[in-house]
């Protein structure tokens, strides 16, 4: 069996090598780099900055185009109708799209208001125009005044007038000034005569009325109207407002019954207004939220319009304190610092003892200053509040818990991104996220929010691996084996980050421990065990994955990336642990067709070498610390790999031990002379280097003689390889091979 396997892989290597030498390596290189860029973007540390910049640029690019189209459309409407309805429809669409996505600038609103009220177009068009007059942030007062003057021109229909008043009421809060509009009070008041307009004008007047607007003749007029039309709620509302301002003017008693006074004029623009308000409050504007507000009104009802609560200091505790307060309470609460005023880090430092915590702890996710506070707070209840809120919100929002809820995807992904930013900032995972992973990972399809979900995995707080394995990693491996190579690579990347996070934790802890002499000492062995179990788990995943994906280069890169972390634990993190990779990773990497893989392998071997040497030296110095001395098995494993590598690459005596191939089979495969075929010159990963090295020497040559590289030329060849950037190889050869033995 074994001989067969070797033979076939040899054959494969040959054919690959041929292809490689003929094609050059460019196509592989570009594909690889493309993948790497993609990976970088999903990297946890860069996601906040790079990821966002990217999308912003994309938006801006798209916005520029939309902006031009909008200008053309506005000019078209300004000019008035041309007999081609097609372009009208197109321009209307353009305006609607821009308006609903980002809102319109004051100039655009000015133009559209004039167009709609000048009667240039039919009322169907006017209606559509009104529906999309949505400001980016504010509406200029002048536009409104101008619009009112169009009303006097009498060019628009009654229904358009109604629409205008409804629009004005809905947008009232977004008009920048209201002084001039208030000067038109008399005009609006006169419009009450119009039965159709009356309710809306009443609503507008209700919003506009100041004390000085309340005049006896107006009261009389209102009472007349009421006598004529009966007890209309809108008239009552205006009357009661008048009565509030000047009680002496109105002697009639108004019924105390509670009632909704005005028809809701906002309805037409409701979702747009929600987006507008959040835009004005400084929440990131999201075109998608417009739609979401439509689809899930019930949920919105409960939890306002963002998942994360707004930062408010405890509103209740303030009230209650006022009542029952003894002297000490008084002093402590008097100095309390409201969150709303917290703007800078120095402020936080000065007031950290008397900070009023938010009424809903979830709000800290949106404030880096409060995350600082969370970071050092000792109060368990603060963390418990955050825990409860976060774990419930995660489950409530999680989209694969619900059927047909995939429109929520973007929102959920954004929420996860916010959590991840906070975790990255704190350099610590939240327990609620871990609990959420336990529940949701078995249901996950491996696609939805993949990048975020895997990053959550990489922030799992340090814990006993064997305990977490059945809850998380068993499910993860099932997904791992059944998914694409890209998924496998992402999982390996996330496990590398997990390992890194755990190591950082432990390494900080070990330093603190030596000072404090904490009771943890006895369990350090336990935690090392946990880390090594994680590494063995990844080793197992990698071995199987390499076989499943038939030694794919991408995959090997990610696997070796992981081992780049593993090999340096002893030196980089000062933790007593060295775990060597399994043969299922080592040999495929050694026989890889890709020089960068081999180079990475050399680098890792060199680092293992340094770590093990350092460990041995330390052991020698402090003989007492026997608990963490490495078993001789680790050294044996490493030495075996080292021998194999030197045998292959350098001495051309590969696999002296433990591998015997029937020479006949090798003869049949026409590789009877196999011994040299894996050395630095003939190794398929280096073939292209060998050829270009030889061609450099004599470019005219049509046939190169590879075996001419020996003796001095061997050294030149080595220098050539190093100059090509194979630094891993350089380090490996420097540390593991005594150069006297040049073949």
Partner 1 sequence: MDSYDTPELTRRQDASSRLKDFFIGATPLQKRLESVRKQTSFIATPPRRKIPQGSQLQEDVDPQKFAFLLHKQWTLYSLTPLYKFSYTNFKEYSKLLNAFIAAEKQKGLAVEVGDDFNIKVIFSTLMGVKGTQRDPEAFLVQILSKSQLPSEHKEEKVLWTGWFCCVFGDSLLETVSEDFTCLPLFLANGAETNTAIIGTWFQKTFDCYFRPLAVNAFNLSWMAAMWTACKMDHYMATTELLWSVPCSPHSLDISYAIHPEDAKALWDSVHKTPGEVTQEEVDLFMDCLYSHFHRHFKIHLSATRLVRVSTSVASAHTDGKIKILCPKYLIGVLAYLTELAVFQIE
CA atoms within 13 A on the CB side of 622: 10
Reduce the DSSP state of residue 358 to 3 states and report it. Answer: strand
- Residue 576's φ and ψ, nearest 5 degrees, are -80, 75
- What tokens appear for 110 in the block? 């000015």
Query: Least CB distance from residue 490 to partner 1, whole Å?
Result: 22
Q: Which is nearer to partner 1, 244 or 481 (CB)?
A: 244
Query: Least CB distance from residue 340 to partner 1, whole Å?
Result: 14
Q: Which is nearer to partner 1, 290 or 471 (CB)?
A: 471
Q: Which is nearer to partner 1, 27 or 46 (CB)?
A: 46
- What tokens appear for 504 in the block? 């950082």
Query: Least CB distance from residue 335 to partner 1, whole Å?
Result: 20
CA distance 679 to 113: 80
Q: Which is nearer to partner 1, 142 or 627 (CB)?
A: 627
Query: Least CB distance from residue 272 to partner 1, whole Å?
Result: 15
Please give the full DSSP string across 91-123, using - where no structure is assigned: HHHHHHHHHHHT-B-HHHHHHHHHHHHTT-S-H
**The residue count for the chain:** 743
Query: Least CB distance from residue 644 to partner 1, whole Å?
Result: 39
Q: Which is nearer to partner 1, 402 or 739 (CB)?
A: 402
Query: Least CB distance from residue 510 to partner 1, whole Å?
Result: 9
Query: Least CB distance from residue 519 to partner 1, whole Å?
Result: 6
CA distance 656 to 233: 99
CA distance 660 to 619: 37
Query: Least CB distance from residue 239 to partner 1, whole Å?
Result: 10
Q: Which is nearer to partner 1, 287 or 470 (CB)?
A: 470
Closest to 16 measured CA to CA, from 684, 708, 533, 741: 684
Q: Which is nearer to partner 1, 281 or 392 (CB)?
A: 392
C-alpha distances in Å from residue 127, one per residue of 358, 398, 507: 44, 39, 67
CA distance 451 to 412: 12
CA distance 455 to 157: 58
CA distance 389 to 239: 46
CA distance 600 to 589: 9
- What tokens appear for 626 in the block? 């026997």
Q: Which is nearer to partner 1, 28 or 400 (CB)?
A: 400
Query: Least CB distance from residue 9 to partner 1, whole Å?
Result: 41
Query: Least CB distance from residue 422 to partner 1, whole Å?
Result: 9
CA distance 132 to 92: 9
Query: Least CB distance from residue 458 to partner 1, whole Å?
Result: 15
Where does residue 551 fall: left (phi above 0), alpha (psi -120 to 50 degrees), or beta otherwise? Answer: left
CA 95 to chain centre: 31
Q: Which is nearer to partner 1, 35 or 444 (CB)?
A: 444
- What tokens appear for 538 in the block? 């990844």
Q: Which is nearer to partner 1, 338 or 725 (CB)?
A: 338
Q: Which is nearer to partner 1, 467 or 664 (CB)?
A: 467
Q: Which is nearer to partner 1, 265 or 493 (CB)?
A: 265
Closest to 563 measured CA to CA, from 577, 581, 537, 586: 581
Residues in contact with 290: Cβ distance below 8 Å, sequence separation at least 6, in sequence order: 100, 271, 272, 274, 275
C-alpha distances in Å from residue 625, one per residue of 66, 107, 522, 629: 69, 77, 12, 7
Query: Least CB distance from residue 286 to partner 1, whole Å?
Result: 13
Query: Least CB distance from residue 304 to partner 1, whole Å?
Result: 8
CA distance 537 to 491: 12
Query: Least CB distance from residue 362 to partner 1, whole Å?
Result: 8
C-alpha distances in Å from residue 641, one per residue of 10, 147, 201, 561, 577: 20, 84, 88, 18, 18
Q: Which is nearer to partner 1, 9 or 463 (CB)?
A: 463
Please give the full DSSP string across 235-286, using - where no structure is assigned: HHHHHHHHHHH-GGG--SPPP------S--GGGGGHHHHHHHHHHHTTPPP-
CA distance 528 to 92: 66
Query: Least CB distance from residue 199 to partner 1, whole Å?
Result: 12
Query: Least CB distance from residue 423 to partner 1, whole Å?
Result: 10
Q: Which is nearer to partner 1, 531 or 685 (CB)?
A: 531
- What tokens appear for 593 in the block? 């067709």
Q: Which is nearer to partner 1, 413 or 504 (CB)?
A: 504
Q: Which residues share a beta bridge with 175?
A: 139
Q: Which is nearer to partner 1, 56 or 384 (CB)?
A: 384
* Four-CA torsion 96, 97, 100, 106, nearest 10 degrees: -70
Q: Exposed (0-12), middle (13-18) or buried (19+): which is 337, by Cβ within 10 Å?
A: middle
Q: Give CA angle at 54 (53, 57), nearest 5°.
A: 85
Reduce the DSSP state of residue 175 to 3 states and report it. Answer: strand
Q: Which is nearer to partner 1, 468 or 567 (CB)?
A: 468
Query: Least CB distance from residue 535 to partner 1, whole Å?
Result: 19
Query: Least CB distance from residue 269 to partner 1, whole Å?
Result: 12
CA distance 559 to 407: 35
CA distance 158 to 169: 17
Q: Which is nearer to partner 1, 468 or 545 (CB)?
A: 468
Q: Which residues share a beta bridge with 355?
A: 337
CA distance 131 to 272: 10
């Amino acid at each position: 069996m074994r001989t067969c396997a070797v033979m076939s892989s040899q054959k494969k290597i040959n054919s690959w090598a041929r292809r490689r030498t003929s094609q050059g390596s460019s196509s592989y290189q570009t594909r690889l780099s493309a993948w790497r860029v993609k990976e970088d973007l999903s990297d946890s540390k860069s996601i906040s900055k790079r990821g966002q910049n990217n999308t912003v640029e994309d938006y801006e690019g798209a916005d520029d185009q939309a902006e031009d189209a909008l200008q053309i459309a506005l000019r078209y409407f300004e000019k008035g109708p041309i007999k081609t309805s097609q372009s009208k429809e197109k321009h209307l669409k353009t305006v609607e799209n821009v308006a609903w996505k980002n809102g319109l600038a004051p100039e655009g609103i000015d133009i559209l208001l004039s167009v709609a009220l000048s009667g240039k177009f039919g009322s169907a068009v006017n209606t559509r125009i009104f529906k999309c007059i949505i400001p980016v942030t504010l509406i200029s007062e002048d536009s409104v005044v101008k619009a009112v003057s169009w009303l006097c021109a009498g060019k628009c229909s009654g229904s358009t007038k109604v629409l205008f008043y409804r629009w004005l009421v809905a947008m009232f809060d977004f008009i920048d000034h209201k002084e001039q509009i208030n000067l038109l009070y008399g005009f609006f008041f006169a419009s009450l005569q119009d039965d159709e307009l009356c309710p809306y004008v009443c609503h507008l007047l209700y919003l506009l009325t100041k004390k000085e607007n309340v005049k006896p003749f107006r009261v009389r007029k209102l009472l007349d109207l009421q006598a004529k039309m009966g007890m209309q709620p809108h008239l009552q509302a205006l009357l009661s407002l008048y009565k509030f301002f000047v009680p002496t003017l109105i002697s009639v008693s108004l019924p105390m019954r509670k009632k909704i006074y005005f028809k809701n004029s906002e309805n037409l623009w409701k979702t747009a207004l929600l987006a507008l308000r959040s835009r004005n409050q400084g929440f990131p504007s999201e075109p998608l939220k417009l739609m979401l507000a439509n689809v899930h009104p019930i949920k919105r009802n409960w939890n306002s319009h963002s998942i994360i609560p707004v930062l408010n200091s405890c509103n209740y505790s303030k009230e209650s304190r006022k009542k029952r307060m003894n002297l000490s309470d008084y002093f402590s609460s008097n100095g309390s610092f409201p969150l709303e005023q917290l703007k800078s880090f120095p402020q936080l430092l000065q007031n950290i003892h008397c900070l009023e915590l938010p009424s809903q702890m979830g709000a800290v996710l949106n404030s880096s200053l409060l995350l600082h506070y969370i970071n050092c707070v000792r109060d368990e209840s603060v963390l418990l509040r955050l825990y409860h809120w976060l774990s419930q919100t995660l489950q409530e929002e999680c989209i694969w818990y619900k059927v047909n809820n995939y429109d929520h995807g973007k929102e959920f992904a954004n929420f996860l991104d916010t959590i991840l930013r906070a975790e990255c900032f704190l350099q610590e995972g939240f327990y609620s996220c871990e609990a959420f992973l336990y529940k949701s990972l078995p249901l996950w399809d491996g696609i939805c929010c993949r990048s975020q979900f895997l990053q959550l995995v990489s922030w799992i707080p340090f814990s006993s691996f064997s305990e977490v394995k059945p809850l998380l990693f068993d499910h993860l491996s099932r997904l791992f084996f059944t998914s694409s190579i890209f998924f496998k690579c992402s999982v390996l990347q996330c496990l590398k980050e997990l390992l890194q996070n755990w190591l950082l934790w432990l390494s900080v802890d070990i330093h603190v421990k030596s000072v404090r002499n904490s009771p943890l000492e006895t369990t350090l062995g336990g935690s090392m065990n946990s880390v090594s179990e994680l590494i063995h788990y990844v080793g197992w995943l990698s071995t199987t994955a390499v076989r499943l994906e038939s030694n794919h280069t991408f995959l090997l890169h990610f696997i070796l990336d992981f081992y780049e972390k593993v090999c340096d634990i002893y030196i980089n993190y000062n933790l007593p642990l060295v775990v060597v990779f399994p043969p299922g990773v080592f040999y495929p990497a050694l026989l890889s067709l890709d020089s960068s893989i081999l180079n990475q392998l050399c680098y890792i071997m060199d680092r293992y070498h340094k770590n093990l040497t350092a460990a041995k030296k330390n052991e020698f110095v402090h003989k007492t610390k026997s608990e963490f001395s490495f078993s001789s098995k680790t050294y044996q494993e490493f030495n075996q790999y080292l021998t194999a590598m030197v045998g292959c690459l350098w001495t051309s005596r590969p696999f002296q031990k433990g591998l015997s191939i029937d020479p006949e089979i090798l003869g049949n495969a026409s590789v009877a002379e196999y011994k040299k075929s894996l050395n630095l010159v003939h190794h398929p990963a280096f073939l292209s280097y060998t050829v270009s090295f030889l061609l450099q020497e004599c470019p005219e040559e049509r046939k190169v003689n590879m075996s001419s590289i020996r003796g001095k030329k061997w050294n030149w060849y080595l220098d050539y390889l190093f100059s090509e950037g194979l630094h891993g190889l350089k380090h490996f050869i420097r540390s593991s091979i005594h150069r006297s033995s040049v073949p």
